[in-house]
Structure 1
Amino acid sequence: MKQRDKQEREAAASKVDVLNEALPWIHRSAGKTFVIKYGGSAMENPELCRQVVADIEMLKLLGIRIVLVHGGGKAISAHVKALGLPVQFKGGLRVTDDATMEAVREVLVGKVNQDLVWALNEYGHNAVGISGADGKTLKAEQIDPELGRVGRIREVDPSLIETILEDGYIPVVATVGCAPDGFFNINADVAAGKIAEALGADKLIYLTDVDGLYGDVNDEDTLIQTLTRDETHMLLDSGELDGGMLPKIRSIAEALDAGVSEVVILNGTYPHSLLLEIFTDAGCGTMFTRK
């Protein structure tokens, strides 16, 4: 019995140590605004999704204002294929004709957004789902006729998001933009960066299915832990980036330029990576800083 009591005391003490480490980070984060872009396998796997949603709920309970911006690339591709439409990408952006745009809206606004809202609301009355078209939050214009209805964000009106935050909810934003001639498909990485800029967010987090940014994508030992704003711009200018990482890093650079203090790329498939990054000394992933 005594041996068991000792083991229980030691286990309890280790939990207290964790809380003591987290306390200054909790104090530092309370009241701040974090924009989280959610995508990749972390969102596709139901068990991982439940875990991430629980972590987001904890952040809210600890006083952090959370804005959740989501993609849905894999779900969109599956739906587009099921409709017999082509799946094409150019420069990391989905080629979106009118039929594909309808499919994007069906998946992002009608399914993915509502699934996330439902999951968050299982913990209480916590989330409100919107698209970038609601309240003209994401005003868009066409990037390139060859890409079809792929939009560049011309302006972000954060009024609706701010209202939802002030009312104590988590805005869950589907990245469909609006224009006088209809809807546009907005890259979720870019949208998260622009929303963070418009809100003056304290932190922007890209929760995806990679550990961070690698010097060599084929070598796990080349994970980059930190980059300054100047180093991020140098990386963009080097021409070494391609595919889906290019719009992500470009949006990170623009967010830093606009005043966002920190941006982090995290692997959402790693258990509690959000909490490890925010509330521990070690952190994880790749952090981009203004200085």
Structure 2
Amino acid sequence: MSPNPRRPGSAVTEDARPLGVIAGAGRLPVVLARVDHDARPLAVVSISNDPQPELRAAADVFRHLSVGKIHEMLGVFHDAGATELVILGAVDKGVLFRPKQLDWLALKILAQAKTRGSQSLFHAIADEFEARGFTVADQRTYLPPLVANAGALTRRRLGRAGRRDAEYALRLAREVARLDIGQTVAVKDGTPVAVEAMEGTDAAIRRAADLAGGGIVVAKATRPDHDFRFDVPTVGLDTLGVLVEVEASALVVEANRTFVLDRDELRERADANGLAILAAT
């Protein structure tokens, strides 16, 4: 399992249990690894196609597994003594269409889910994990500095028409999320242009721009009963780069329900490109 030496200053009391981390793609797992958790050790299972070396170096126990190998994954955490888990990073949902890559426990969870929408799958996973003695933590518990507070995140303010588009886009995004379809909607001049499904936020933004050109307003939202143990909508420099590329007008996210990565650099780049970003309640 590739146990690593303790990090400097990471003396652990005898009753300290490792935090189990299911690490998908993207920056969030690495950000977690950088945070001081009072010397709590980390047992990491990476399910990303390209595990990040920094994450491997920070972990006390590290394994790289396919996203569909859930039984083996829980075995790693059991052997490490971890009972609390946190799931961070993007997960390849395409595995749902590749059943040969799913182990028997993944197939069991899939059969128990009411639908194959994200929230239904997440609840089925949580039920199975809890039945096996594991708890899954709200991601915001371990990354509070990333949570967006209400208000403008950039200097630019929207005019009356822009505010109308932002309010409308957010309302639509919340409804799309409630239906467990996706989280992102793009609007231009009061017209819905694109709705995210399985392709992801960045692809939906590009599709909207292909249809409507520049000036789109993008909203990203969650359903009212969203389960933050499995997913916190996240915006960062990658999404900003796409918004700038397509000459979007604004991005609106939900306050207290969204992670913002690299906030200072995000603000600086958005301001330089005349993009408004706001966190709404």
Mark yes or no: TM-score above 0.5.
no
Give the helix-richer structure, 1 or 2: 1
Relative contact order higher in (CA < 8 Å, ≥ 6 apart): 1
Q: TM-score, normalised to structure 1's length?
A: 0.28
Give the strand-richer structure, 1 or 2: 1
Q: TM-score, normalised to structure 2's length?
A: 0.28
